Structure 1
Amino acid sequence: MKSFTFVLAGVLAACVMTSCSTAPQANYEHLGLVQVSGNVTLDSQPLAGAMVRFEAPDGQYSSGVTDSNGHYTLRFDSEKLGATPGDKIVRISTAASPGEGEELSEEPPGEEGEEDGMEGASPKKEERVPVQFNKNSDLKRTVKPGENQTFDFDLKSN
């Protein structure tokens, strides 16, 4: 019985010691992240609260949200600012929120998931950006390695 208690204490001590160690840190060095920022206007007016997303062909993306002046800065993830170098499709949406799913909706507000009698449901944000700049975006930019870059977008309504 003493040997079982001794082994159990040893296993417990090993578990405690490994759980107290620091969590592994992501290594961002190999990504070559580039600082990307800019301004977004719609019909020459700052576009506040818009999600700006730079998507690579492999589906990886960086995103940022415009402030009240239409200024955005891209984030790679919650820890790091920037975007990976390469060709990107740019999608800009006022209906998407930070952390929402992969798809940007082109449905008019209130149609998706709406049911009669659903009081207290969160209303879907209104999409003010034309579809050719979000879901069916034709905006393309190339993020060059090693240099901070500014990409401004002056969008026009339909």
Structure 2
Amino acid sequence: MKMLTFVCRQSLSLCFLSTLLLSAGCGGSINADYSQLDLVEVSGTVTLDGQPLSGATVAFEAPDRTFSSGVTDASGHYTLMFNTEKSGCLTGQKTVRIKFVTDSETPEGETETEGAEKSPAASGQKVPEQYNQKSTLTATVDADHTSFNFDLKSKP
């Protein structure tokens, strides 16, 4: 019986020590290694009826629903981001979705900048659904194809 108690205590001590050592490695910063991903820098411009479209979100979505996205500036230019830290887009066939973030979708704590030009969404103009929810836009991203310009039409 004493031998069984001794073995149980040793086993518990070993389990506790193992758990302690394993947990010591957790909680550090994550240093992502993007070198194994086939990321390429993707950019371009978006116009609506020939005019630069500013403040629109451009998303390149893969069939597995992963995506890279960017927001157009005042000249309609965008650059895709893989995540919040890394620019780029995975290669392959993509569905392109272009839309505005509506007031109801604005992240909490963010407000429109005073004095900023009104975007088409703010002035009541919308990007037609054939460019967003039911997008007909596609792009094939690879090392030789990294610039994509879109001239959208408000009426089909």
Q: Is the TM-score greater than 0.5?
A: yes
Alignment partner of 1:89 out of 95, 98, 103: 95
**Range moving further from structure 2, 45-54 or 146-155:** 146-155
| Match of residue 132 from structure 2 | 134
Q: Is the 8 A contact 1:47 1:69 kept in 2?
A: yes
Q: Which amino acid aligns with 1:63?
A: S
| Match of residue 156 from structure 1 | 153
Would you say 1:39 and 2:45 are equivalent positions? yes
| Match of residue 3 from structure 2 | none
Shift of 1:32: 1.3
Shift of 1:41: 0.2
* Residues 71 and 18 of structure 1: CA distance in aligned 2, closer, same or farther (over 3 Å): same
1:89-122 Cα deviation digits (max 9, x unpaired): 00000136687xxxxxxxxxxxxxxxxxxxxxxx
Q: Which amino acid aligns with 1:150?
A: S
| TM-score, scaled relative to structure 2 | 0.68
Q: Which amino acid aligns with 1:136?
A: K
Q: Is the 8 A contact 1:53 1:90 kept in 2?
A: yes
Q: Which amino acid aligns with 2:47?
A: T
| Match of residue 70 from structure 1 | 76
Gaps of 5+ in 1: 1-6, 100-123
Query: What is the rounded CA distance, in whole Å, between the counterparts of 2:127 and 2:89 in structure 1?
Result: 23
Moved over 2 A (4+): 13-20, 95-99, 124-127
Q: Is the 8 A contact 1:95 1:127 kept in 2?
A: no
| TM-score, scaled relative to structure 1 | 0.67
Query: What is the rounded CA distance, in whole Å, between the counterparts of 2:135 and 2:39 in structure 1?
Result: 23
Query: What is the rounded CA distance, in whole Å, between the counterparts of 1:98 and 1:61 in structure 2?
Result: 20
Q: Is the 8 A contact 1:37 1:72 kept in 2?
A: yes
* Residues 130 and 67 of structure 1: CA distance in aligned 2, closer, same or farther (over 3 Å): same
Shift of 1:70: 0.4
How many residue pairs were aligned? 128
Shift of 1:25: 1.1
Q: Which amino acid aligns with 2:152?
A: L
Gaps of 5+ in 2: 1-12, 108-120
